[in-house]
Amino acid sequence: MKAGTKGGPGHLVRRAASTLFRRRTPPEDAAWANDQLSDAERRLFDRMTEADRAHSVRVARRVEVSVGDQDGADVAVVAALLHDVGKGEAGLGFYGRIVATLCDPFADDQLAEAWSQRSGITRRIGLYLRYPALGAESLQLAGSSALVVAWSAEHHEPEEAWTVPVELGRLLQAADY
């Protein structure tokens, strides 16, 4: 599995802009998100940065519209809300995330793991590069469904590596912009 962040300069520029210019999550959206999550999942969600929570709510709202009332729609929404939950483990701010994102193309899983065992900013970059796996571990400990855990771990992987149903993965990936 490849360490790291989502590729594509357009995605990264949009995320950076939304972090810099996005207002707080509207209270009705925050309440809606809280209603979708278990108590343990809500605690993880609340530990995310405001920018990450706002992004996740936007992704989940798009997923909600796409899946409608299909079977498993509630799990798909939770997967969307929590797909980036591991980012908080690194404790990086805006500029630290930019540095980590620039390191990502050069860091495989072994290097990210080695960096995460070091100290200081190197450790935090290593943790950030490993955020999908760290998020999956946290979600598993929180008792999240297998699909939510898998999507957190796999959302930057190619389709061939997904264990989630491909159609659902495509829907979740399309909503994550």
So what's the pLDDT on residue 156? 93
pLDDT at 34 over 60: yes
Using one digit for the tens of pLDDT, what is the confidence trace for 1-10?
455 555 566 6
User: 149 falls in which pLDDT band (50, 70, 90)?
Assistant: very high
User: 11 falls in which pLDDT band (50, 70, 90)?
Assistant: low
Mean pLDDT of 118-122: 97
**By percentage, how much of the chain surpasses pLDDT 90?**
81
Using one digit for the tens of pLDDT, what is the confidence trace for 67-91?
998 889 999 999 999 999 999 999 9
Mean pLDDT of 163-169: 96
Distance CA 56, CA 3 (A): 20
> In terms of C-beta density within 10 A (0-12 exposed, 13-18 middle, 19 or more buried), how is residue 98 classed?
middle
So what's the pLDDT on residue 23? 66
Mean pLDDT of the chain: 91
User: 106 falls in which pLDDT band (50, 70, 90)?
Assistant: very high
Distance CA 30, CA 54 (A): 8
So what's the pLDDT on residue 24? 79
**By percentage, how much of the chain surpasses pLDDT 70?**
88
* pTM for the whole structure: 0.89
Mean pLDDT of 57-71: 95
